[in-house]
Chain A
Amino acid sequence: MNSQSQSQSQRRKNFKIEAFKHKVELDPKYAERTWKVLEHAIHEIYNNNASRLSFEELYRSAYNMVLHKYGDKLYSGLVATMTAHLNKIAKSVESAQGGLFLEKLNHKWADHNKALQMIRDILMYMDRSYVPTSHKTPVHELGLNLWRDHIIHSPNIQARLQDTLLDLVQRERTGDVINRGLMRNITKMLMDLGSSVYQDDFEKPFLDVSASFYSGESQQFIECCDCGSYLKKAERRLNEEMERVSHYLDAKTEVKITSVVEREMIANHMQRLVHMDNSGLVNMLIDDKYDDLSRMYSLFKRVPEGLSTIRDVMTSYLRERGRVLVTDTERLKDPVEFVQCLLNEKDKHDKIISTAFNNDKTFQNALNSSFEYFINLNNRSAEFISLYLDDKLRKGLKGASEEEVEVVLDKVMMLFRYLQEKDVFEKYYKQHLAKRLLSGKTVSDDAERSMIVKLKTECGYQFTSKLEGMFTDMKTSEDTMLDFYAKQSAELGDGPTLAVQILTTGSWPTQPTAACNLPPEILTVCEKFRTYYLGTHSGRRLTWQTNMGTADIKATFGKGHKHELNVSTYQMCVLMLFNSADGLTYREIEQATEIPALDLKRCLQSLACVKGKNVLRKEPMSKDISEEDVFYFNDKFTSKFVKVKIGTVVAQKESEPEKQETRQRVEEDRKPQIEAAIVRIMKSRRVLDHNSIVAEVTKQLQSRFLPNPVVIKKRIESLIEREFLERDKADRKLYRYLA
């Protein structure tokens, strides 16, 4: 058994498959014959007679040739045959007339591809085995290269092809309809032949020709079109080109052709377009041409510096416009109108930016910086904004809903943010608020409080703490009055009714208190109040602010006409004098009331010289008050209203001397703030040079005002004198903190 198995396994081991050593010789004649068969097949294929061929036979023939090492012959034969055919085709294409040229080319190309496909299939074995090993070009690629070399780059075809294509594009651009499908096939052909063929034979010349076309066209347009129309045309051309690419050019051409159009039509004419008389950017802004602006924005966005060009022109226009607005003396006569104007400008341009400029943040910033620039050109802006608010809060917002109120206040806050001298605004706002509160003339408490909240959010607690104090005082005063009347009603009897507002000094704007002589009836009840108040609040001091009060007086005129007059305290003092005399001279009035001259004149003017409110008669009847005038009770006074208001406690634009005074007070207030900032900075830094101190102080105070470097220097010197700081002994540019 063993030996048998051994021999079996041996036999198995010995069994091997040997290589086919049997040489199947193909004699050269046979090779030549085989080649001829294939050559004939190629001819037939090119002559569209392929149906009669047997694929299998041809395949086997090619296979055999390669197998028997006749690959070279096969390959070179292929090349020769194909070349010959292509040369024939070239001649055929060349002979085509005019418009048929492209069609012929296209047709022949399609044929060639079909032929190539078949040939490749037949020669597949060669493609897979002979071609790689001998580093030859594969059949399909070979076919394309030969087409390229013998057709496309044939001397009689190359230039003509290019010219034909470009000519068609030109015609389409000038309005003709062309065969887009054909174009697409041709360009696709070029792409198939290799992207460098496409680029060299078509794309580069196409771009060059387009550039000069658009250069010429843009020059033509710009001479005869206004900016808006030009931009429309440019946009149209741009869209056209993009559409052209999508229909019959390679996708990669899009960005190249669009940048040509952008350069020629937009970038090269940017300045001229933007500055065009009567139709440029500025005119579009003025006339709210949203469409044109939107178009300009999207077109200019495509070119370098495009948006910054628009932005710069817009900024300088805004600044100039703003400057004109704030220096227009006519407009400055009405502060409320002035601020409304500014708000309107802001609204207008906000809308432009959101509608046409895509809410672009850089444009918003440009708008803000322009407003900030020109608002601060006029040093009364702060005062006027406060007066605008005063007008709104006193009567303008009457009947407005909560949302409407918020909208108005928010818009005003935007202007407020632009102010450099916020402390000036604070001073005026306090004054105007005081007048509103004391005269009870505010449209809504909620609106007032809402404004305070907004200011607090913007500027911090310190800014509004005193304002809030004013509200508290008003509330407390109400409660105090209720208590006063509850406790004192018996004693007061029939005297005049008193309503006292107790103002905490420091919270309210300081007014120099000019005492005047109150009528005896008033004096009595005032003293009773004083006693009552000091009884419950010992250690406090009360001073009557006679320049801020009001009074309601019942007056009987001739023929028994009764009226109720609402007057200021000063006016009351003057009028009550006429209970004991029909006529008084200016000096008598002055002596009796002790009202300061300027106030007295204003007071008498409002009582005697205003039509419809002249409860006093003046001799002489001149407009101004002179110290020689005599005043009489005007028996003949009439008014269709029972209640007549003659008070003069409304907030109004300050006169020039008042303005100077306020500014002086602001400057005085700034000094300690600057010093405090300097001390704070030096305390933490110990040693610092001059320029750094100035920079730090400016930074610390910028939410309130912009400090003047000269003033800062003066404060530093004052601090040196008072030995808070000293100059460094070695380096005189440095300052040192003295603990």
Chain B
Amino acid sequence: MRRSSNRKSSSASAAAGSGSTKAASKEFEKIDHLFNVYADKSSAIIDPEGIEQLCSSLEVDYTDVRILMLAWKMKAQKQGFFTLEEWRTGLKALRADSMSKLKKALPELVKEVSRPTDFLDFYSYAFRYCLTEDKQKCIDIESACQLLSLVLGTQFGPQVDKFTEYLKSQSEYKVMNMDQWMGFYRFCNEIPFPSLENYDSDLAWPLILDNFVEWFRENQK
């Protein structure tokens, strides 16, 4: 009796163990399957080519911000690549294990990202995601402008337009760092545009924004 019960329990536990792997593998089976559709066969990672294919499956342009959001959900480390772990993380969180479910999950994802706390995390993620080299701390102005439009374009269109215009017209700053990146988001949230009435350059705003405000006010005249 004991034995059987032991066995049962052990088999049960074994079953549980294998069951969990089984369940796990069952859980991720579809997800992994989907992964393999796009992954490179030799490296077992989805590379930029694979992402392009993924995008066309999703019927989304590969420059679309939703891909970035997807990367964020996956907590993807390297721009242009998705590992299996990352894929699993993302899709599990989205509760999607097929292309159709994934497509349907996208609007939900967009809504989720728009929530203020999540957006802040997404916004800083977007910057880090662009740091391609090890120890790189800044992104070049051109890329920064593109990223700003992509990420903040809908929410703070006018500010983004003016700021990118400024960035392209000046030559003092050739790159942007994280501090400046985050500063701009705070700027959009706290300073009314285009009046800029409570902006005080004696406070701790990054210098690049002081210069932007000055440029903006000059051009207004």
Which of B146-154, B157-165, B200-208 contacts its partner?
B200-208
User: Is A735 among interface residues, defined by CB-CB distance under 8 A?
Assistant: yes
Chain A residue numbers with a CB within 8 Å of B174 are none
Are the CB atoms of B202 and A714 closer together than 8 Å? no
Are the CB atoms of B179 and A690 closer together than 8 Å? no
Task: Select one of B137, B186, B204 contacting A735, CB under 8 A.
Answer: B204
CA distance A690 to B203 in the complex (A): 6
Chain B residue numbers with a CB within 8 Å of A246 are none
Q: Which residues of B (158-177) have their CB < 8 Å from a CB of A? A: 177
Nearest residue (CB) in B for A726 is B179
User: Is A710 among interface residues, defined by CB-CB distance under 8 A?
Assistant: yes
User: Is A397 among interface residues, defined by CB-CB distance under 8 A?
Assistant: no
Are the CB atoms of B179 and A727 closer together than 8 Å? yes
CA distance A406 to B180 in the complex (A): 54
CA distance A690 to B136 in the complex (A): 27
Taking the nearest CB of chain B, how far is it from the CB of A379, in angstroms?
23
Are the CB atoms of A691 and B203 closer together than 8 Å? yes
Chain A: residues with Cβ within 8 Å of the partner, total of 16
Are the CB atoms of A714 and B207 closer together than 8 Å? yes
Contacts A690-B202, A721-B137 known; A713 to B207 CB distance under 8 Å? yes
Chain B residue numbers with a CB within 8 Å of A727 are 179, 204
User: Is A720 among interface residues, defined by CB-CB distance under 8 A?
Assistant: yes
* Of B137, B204, B210, most A-chain CB atoms within 10 Å: B204
Taking the nearest CB of chain A, how far is it from the CB of B34, in angstroms?
38
Chain A residue numbers with a CB within 8 Å of B186 are 732
Contacts A727-B179, A732-B186 known; A717 to B137 CB distance under 8 Å? no
Are the CB atoms of B202 and A710 closer together than 8 Å? no
Chain B residue numbers with a CB within 8 Å of A714 are 207
Are the CB atoms of B202 and A709 closer together than 8 Å? yes
Are the CB atoms of A691 and B202 closer together than 8 Å? yes
Chain A residue numbers with a CB within 8 Å of B179 are 717, 720-721, 727
Q: What interface size band does chain B fall in? A: 10 to 19
CA distance A732 to B189 in the complex (A): 13
Are the CB atoms of B207 and A710 closer together than 8 Å? yes
Chain B residue numbers with a CB within 8 Å of A710 are 207, 210
B 183-221 to A, binary, CB cutoff 8 A, 1 in contact else 0: 000100000000000000011101100100000000000
Chain B residue numbers with a CB within 8 Å of A689 are 204
Are the CB atoms of B210 and A713 closer together than 8 Å? yes
User: Is A733 among interface residues, defined by CB-CB distance under 8 A?
Assistant: yes
Taking the nearest CB of chain B, how far is it from the CB of A410, in angstroms?
40
Chain B residue numbers with a CB within 8 Å of A720 are 179
Nearest residue (CB) in A for B206 is A717
A 704-739 to B, binary, CB cutoff 8 A, 1 in contact else 0: 000001100110010011000001000011110000
Chain B residue numbers with a CB within 8 Å of A691 are 202-203
Chain A residue numbers with a CB within 8 Å of B180 are 717
CA distance A690 to B210 in the complex (A): 14
Taking the nearest CB of chain B, how far is it from the CB of A713, in angstroms?
5
Are the CB atoms of A733 and B206 closer together than 8 Å? no
Taking the nearest CB of chain B, how far is it from the CB of A691, in angstroms?
6
CA distance A159 to B146 in the complex (A): 100
Nearest residue (CB) in A for B208 is A717
Chain B residue numbers with a CB within 8 Å of A694 are 202
Are the CB atoms of B204 and A732 closer together than 8 Å? yes
Taking the nearest CB of chain B, how far is it from the CB of A477, in angstroms?
46
CA distance A205 to B192 in the complex (A): 70
Chain B residue numbers with a CB within 8 Å of A732 are 186, 204
CA distance A691 to B204 in the complex (A): 8
* Of A690, A691, A713, A735, most B-chain CB atoms within 10 Å: A713
Contacts A690-B202, A709-B202, A732-B186 known; A721 to B177 CB distance under 8 Å? yes
CA distance A689 to B137 in the complex (A): 25
CA distance A709 to B204 in the complex (A): 11
CA distance A694 to B207 in the complex (A): 14
Taking the nearest CB of chain B, how far is it from the CB of A74, in angstroms?
91
CA distance A721 to B206 in the complex (A): 12
Chain B residue numbers with a CB within 8 Å of A709 are 202
Nearest residue (CB) in B for A689 is B204
Contacts A720-B179, A721-B137 known; A733 to B210 CB distance under 8 Å? no
CA distance A727 to B202 in the complex (A): 16
Taking the nearest CB of chain A, how far is it from the CB of B179, in angstroms?
5
CA distance A734 to B203 in the complex (A): 10
CA distance A119 to B204 in the complex (A): 94
Nearest residue (CB) in A for B180 is A717
Taking the nearest CB of chain A, how far is it from the CB of B170, in angstroms?
15
Are the CB atoms of B204 and A733 closer together than 8 Å? yes
Chain A residue numbers with a CB within 8 Å of B207 are 710, 713-714, 717
Nearest residue (CB) in A for B190 is A732
CA distance A694 to B202 in the complex (A): 9
Q: Which residues of A (675-701) have their CB < 8 Å from a CB of B? A: 689-691, 694
CA distance A689 to B177 in the complex (A): 21
Nearest residue (CB) in A for B178 is A721
CA distance A690 to B200 in the complex (A): 12
Taking the nearest CB of chain A, how far is it from the CB of B201, in angstroms?
9
CA distance A732 to B206 in the complex (A): 11
* Of B137, B206, B210, most A-chain CB atoms within 10 Å: B206
Q: Which residues of A (330-368) have their CB < 8 Å from a CB of B? A: none
Nearest residue (CB) in B for A733 is B204
Taking the nearest CB of chain A, how far is it from the CB of B166, in angstroms?
17
Chain B residue numbers with a CB within 8 Å of A717 are 179-180, 206-207
* Of A709, A714, A717, most B-chain CB atoms within 10 Å: A717
CA distance A710 to B201 in the complex (A): 9
Taking the nearest CB of chain A, how far is it from the CB of B43, in angstroms?
34
CA distance A270 to B186 in the complex (A): 57
Taking the nearest CB of chain A, how far is it from the CB of B157, in angstroms?
24
20 sample A-B contacts, Cβ–Cβ < 8 Å, listed by A number:
A689-B204, A690-B202, A690-B204, A691-B202, A691-B203, A694-B202, A709-B202, A710-B207, A710-B210, A713-B207, A717-B180, A717-B206, A717-B207, A720-B179, A721-B177, A721-B179, A727-B179, A732-B186, A733-B203, A735-B204
| Complex A-B, nearest 8 residue pairs according to Cβ-Cβ distance, in ascending order | A690-B204, A733-B204, A713-B207, A720-B179, A721-B177, A714-B207, A690-B203, A733-B203
A694-B202, A717-B206, A733-B204 known; 6 new pairs, CB 8 Å cut-off, are: A690-B202, A691-B202, A717-B180, A727-B204, A732-B204, A733-B203
